[in-house]
Amino acid sequence: MCLYELAARFGVSPKTLRAWIRRELPDLGHRPRTRYTPLQVQAIIDNFG
């Protein structure tokens, strides 16, 4: 899953989600085309919101 798919899922802009990831979970990476593993996606879902 990429940043754009996650942003659409949460109903926020990719820019907003990228800034949040950069601030809260910097070790995941925040490039626009970064492909997140299911484990990383779960970490984002658990922490974002």
Rounded to 5 degrees, φ, ψ at 48 are: -90, 135
- Would you list the DSSP string of 3-21? HHHHHHHHTS-HHHHHHHH
Give the integer Cα–Cα distance in Å for 16 and 22: 10
Residue with the larger pLDDT of the pair 48 and 34: 48
Q: Which residue ranges make up each domain of the chain?
A: 3-47
> Amino acid identity, residue 12?
V
Query: d(Cα 49, Cα 35) in Å, to the nearest integer?
Result: 21
Compute the distance between CA of residue 1 and CA of residue 8 in angstroms, rounded to an integer.
11
- pLDDT of 15-37, one tens digit each? 999 999 999 988 887 676 778 89
- In this prediction, residues 2-16 reach a mean pLDDT of 93
